[in-house]
């Protein structure tokens, strides 16, 4: 089976949409399926990142409207004999809902099953995937849609399914991770680093593929700064004691590792997860309202409380299924087979 992913990334859009699509593509590959990414050619950094991950990429031009893109994507799908298209890009949801609905109908009309990774209820696709931890699986159709909801469908890349990547909760905190996603669109990493400087901790910064603020990060830190460029995140997380993180895709990865973390909302689509994190005392706030002294106070308190960190660690590990990407791929593959057998069943 051939699966198309329509997703994009850039310093302003972030890398999270491509990252979670990559997790799903890896799971499809484990099932023997082929994944191909369709990305806008003028947003070249995302395509380059995918190629480094071993993925196949087709660059799309900037179409003058969604109708034209839908027509061209449909033709590509036919040429590639694709069975499923997964949608996950602001370049689609930024358009009016009626235009997006027409786009999806066009794909449906050529025999494609459409699925969308959807944080905000924006897509009129046949299957909606939302792995937010506070949602619960709903195997039944809702409003004509099939929904794959909750941590059972956590879209974690292959490195996070390995059992040895779980952090130890040590009594003494020595290493703190700062990770603001693949692009850090609001350049919050220097703010976090400034708050952590002087606490006597080794500060590890996950420097994403689309970030460009290394000089500002270095200027904000003291002597104990370690910048890891495009690291293997599971290994880096497992080696740290606490983390300050954006509340995007990285949050789910931190939950899978069980690293006691405090989170920051950086984008509108992170707010629903932010509410869940706030209920459990894990949300620092929104990046626009936070200053270094807020980071310092929260990190100091967390580092000093071993029992709290142990409690957070145990809670996090219960919220996501480390095989969530495989669960999602299997469910989608079964939906494709069902649709072939009975075209009106999905």
Residue 115 CB: number of other CB atoms within 10 A? 28
Q: What is the mean pLDDT of residues 317-325?
A: 95
Residue length of the chain = 346
Kindly report which listed range (21-25, 134-138, 229-233) carries the lowest average pLDDT score: 134-138
Q: What's the pLDDT band for 12 if we cut at 50, 70, 90?
A: confident
**pLDDT attached to residue 146:** 87
Asked whether residue 341 carries a pLDDT value surpassing 90, the answer given is no
Looking up tokens 């994190």, which residue turns up?
277
Asked whether residue 121 carries a pLDDT value surpassing 70, the answer given is yes
**pLDDT attached to residue 343:** 60
**pLDDT attached to residue 138:** 61
Is pLDDT larger for residue 161 or for residue 15? 15
Q: What is the mean pLDDT of residues 135-156?
A: 78
Alpha carbon distances (Å) from 71 to 57, 104, 123, 140: 19, 11, 18, 31
Asked whether residue 23 carries a pLDDT value surpassing 70, the answer given is yes
**pLDDT attached to residue 163:** 62
Q: What is the mean pLDDT of residues 162-166?
A: 75
Q: What's the pLDDT band for 42 if we cut at 50, 70, 90?
A: confident
**pLDDT attached to residue 165:** 80
**pLDDT attached to residue 141:** 56
Is pLDDT larger for residue 62 or for residue 261? 261
Please check whether residue 125 is in contact with residue 118, taking contact to mean a CB–CB distance below 8 angstroms. Answer: yes
Asked whether residue 143 carries a pLDDT value surpassing 80, the answer given is no
**pLDDT attached to residue 142:** 54
Which residues fall within 8 angstroms of residue 47, CB to CB, at 6 or more apart? 37, 39, 41, 57, 59
Asked whether residue 69 carries a pLDDT value surpassing 60, the answer given is yes
Which residues fall within 8 angstroms of residue 278, CB to CB, at 6 or more apart? none
Rounded Cα gap, residues 243 and 74, in angstroms: 43
Q: What's the pLDDT band for 205 if we cut at 50, 70, 90?
A: very high
Is pLDDT larger for residue 250 or for residue 143? 250
Report the share of the chain in percent with pLDDT over 70.
96
Give all domains of the chain, ordered by start, each with its CATH number.
Answer: 2-156+322-341 (3.40.50.2000), 160-317 (3.40.50.2000)
**pLDDT attached to residue 64:** 85
Q: What is the mean pLDDT of residues 82-99?
A: 92
Q: What's the pLDDT band for 58 if we cut at 50, 70, 90?
A: very high
Report the share of the chain in percent with pLDDT over 90.
78
Q: What is the mean pLDDT of residues 141-157?
A: 83
> Please, is 343 exposed, middle or buried when counting C-beta atoms within 10 Å of its C-beta (0-12, 13-18, 19+)?
exposed
């Amino acid at each position: 089976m051939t699966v198309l992913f329509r997703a994009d990334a850039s310093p302003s859009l972030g890398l999270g949409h491509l990252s979670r699509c990559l997790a799903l593509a890896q799971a499809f590959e484990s099932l023997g399926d082929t994944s191909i990414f369709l990305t806008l050619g003028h947003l070249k950094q995302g395509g380059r990142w995918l190629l480094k991950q071993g993925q196949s990429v087709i660059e799309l031009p900037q179409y003058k409207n969604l109708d034209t893109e839908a027509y061209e994507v449909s033709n590509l799908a036919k040429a590639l004999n694709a069975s499923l298209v997964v949608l996950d890009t602001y370049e689609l949801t930024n358009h009016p809902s009626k235009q997006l609905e027409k786009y999806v109908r066009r794909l449906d009309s050529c025999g494609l099953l459409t699925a969308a990774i959807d944080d905000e209820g924006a897509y009129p696709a046949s299957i909606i995937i939302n792995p937010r931890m506070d949602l619960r699986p709903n195997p039944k159709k809702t409003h004509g849609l099939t929904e794959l909801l909750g941590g059972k469908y956590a879209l974690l890349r292959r490195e996070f399914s390995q059992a040895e990547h779980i952090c130890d909760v040590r009594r003494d905190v020595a290493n703190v991770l700062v990770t603001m996603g693949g692009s850090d669109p609001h350049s919050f990493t220097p703010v976090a680093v400034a708050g952590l400087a002087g606490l006597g901790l080794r500060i590890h910064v996950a420097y994403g593929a689309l970030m460009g603020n290394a000089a500002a990060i270095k200027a904000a830190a003291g002597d104990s700064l370690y910048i890891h460029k495009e690291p293997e995140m599971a290994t880096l997380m497992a080696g740290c004691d606490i983390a300050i993180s954006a509340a995007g895709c990285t949050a789910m990865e931190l939950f899978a590792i069980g690293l006691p973390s405090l989170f920051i909302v950086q984008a509108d689509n992170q707010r629903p997860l932010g509410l869940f994190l706030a209920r459990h005392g894990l949300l620092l706030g929104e990046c626009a309202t936070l200053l270094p002294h807020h980071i310092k106070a929260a990190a100091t308190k967390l580092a000093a409380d071993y029992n709290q960190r142990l409690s957070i660690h145990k809670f996090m590990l219960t919220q996501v299924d480390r095989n969530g990407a495989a669960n999602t791929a299997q469910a989608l593959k079964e939906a494709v087979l069902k649709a072939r057998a009975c075209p009106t069943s999905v």
